Amino acid sequence: MRKRGGGVYRLDWLGTEKCSTWISFGYAIFTNSIKISGKVRTVLNLQDFWKNKIVWEPPVQTQKTQQEFLETYFIRNLNKDDVVCDFACADGLWSEVVAPYVKRVDGFDCSEKMLETARKNSEEKRLNNIFYQYMDAFNVRFECRYDHIMMLGLLTCIDDDKTADRIVKTVAESIKVGGYLIVRDTLNMYEPDDVYYDEPNYSAIYRAKENYERIYLRNGFELIAYRYLNPYSSHPIELGSHGYVFRKK
Ligand SMILES: C[S@@+](CC[C@H](N)C(=O)[O-])C[C@H]1O[C@@H](n2cnc3c(N)ncnc32)[C@H](O)[C@@H]1O
Domain holding 139: CATH number?
3.40.50.150
Whole-model pTM above 0.75? Answer: yes
Where in the sequence is the domain holding 180, given as residue range(s)?
53-189+207-248
Distance 15 CA to ligand 1 centre (A): 35
Residue 244 domain-assigned (yes or no): yes
CA 135 to ligand 1: nearest atom: 21
Tens of each residue's pLDDT in the chain, 249 residues = 344 444 455 666 666 556 777 877 678 888 888 888 888 888 778 888 899 899 999 889 999 999 999 999 999 999 999 999 999 999 999 999 999 999 999 999 999 999 999 999 999 999 999 999 999 999 999 999 999 999 999 999 999 999 999 999 999 999 999 999 999 999 998 778 899 999 988 999 999 999 999 999 999 999 999 999 999 888 778 899 999 999 999
Residue 41 domain-assigned (yes or no): no
**Nearest Cα residue to 133 out of 167, 105, 108:** 108
List ligand 1's pocket residues with C-beta within 6 A: 47, 50, 56, 58, 88-90, 93-94, 109-111, 114, 135-138, 152-154, 156-157
CA 184 to ligand 1: nearest atom: 8
Instruction: Count the domains in the chain.
Output: 1
Residue 213 domain-assigned (yes or no): yes
